[in-house]
A = this chain, B = another copy of it.
Amino acid sequence: MAIPPERLRKYVGLHRKYAGGQLINLNPIQRGGILTEEARRVIVEFGDGYSVCDWCPAKTPRLDMIRRPPIMEFMEDLAEFLGMDVARVVTRCREAKFIAFRMLGKPGDYVVVDSLAHYSTYLAAELAGLRVKEVPHGGYPEFRVDIEAYAEKIEEVKRETGKPPVLAVLTHVDYMYGNLNDAARVAEICHEHDVPLLLNAAYTAGVMPVDGRKLGVDILVSSGHKSWAASAPTGILAATHEMAEKILRHPRIQGDWSGRTFKVKELALLGCTVMGAPLVTLMASFPAVVERVQHWGDEVKKARYLVEQVERIEGTKQLGVKPKEHTLIHIESKGLYRVSQSHKRRGFFLYDELKKRKIVGIQPGLTKHFKLNTYGLSWGQVKYVAESFLEIAEKYGLSIG
Contact = CB atoms under 8 A, between A and B. Distances in A.
A286 interface: yes
A53 B360 CA distance: 13
A389 interface: no
A206 to B, nearest CB: 10
Contacts of A339: none
Interface in A42-94: 42-54, 58, 68-70, 73-74, 77, 80-83, 91-92, 94
B231 A47 contact: yes
A270 B120 contact: yes
A296 interface: no
Contact of A70 (B5, B11, B265): B11
A123 B102 CA distance: 14
A44 B46 contact: no
> Of A3, A14, A223, A278, which is in contact with the most chain B CB atoms at under 10 Å from its CB?
A14
Nearest to A5: B287
> Of A8, A32, A123, A211, which is in contact with the most chain B CB atoms at under 10 Å from its CB?
A123
A384 interface: no
A341 to B, nearest CB: 19
A122 B251 contact: yes
A77 B277 contact: no
A106 to B, nearest CB: 9
A140 interface: no
A124 interface: yes
A124 B251 CA distance: 10
A395 to B, nearest CB: 25
A74 B10 CA distance: 9
Interface of A: 1-3, 5, 7-19, 27, 29-30, 32-35, 38-54, 58, 68-70, 73-74, 77, 80-83, 91-92, 94-95, 98, 102, 107, 115, 119-120, 122-127, 131-136, 211, 213, 223-226, 229-233, 251-253, 255-258, 260, 262, 265, 267-268, 270-271, 273-278, 280-281, 283-284, 286-287, 290, 360-361, 363-365
29 contacts: A1-B82, A3-B80, A9-B287, A11-B70, A13-B38, A14-B46, A14-B69, A18-B54, A30-B48, A34-B48, A35-B49, A40-B44, A43-B44, A47-B231, A49-B223, A54-B360, A54-B361, A58-B364, A91-B233, A95-B270, A115-B257, A119-B260, A122-B251, A123-B262, A124-B270, A126-B252, A232-B276, A233-B278, A276-B278
Given A134-B256, A134-B258, 6 more contacts: A14-B45, A102-B127, A120-B271, A123-B267, A123-B271, A232-B274
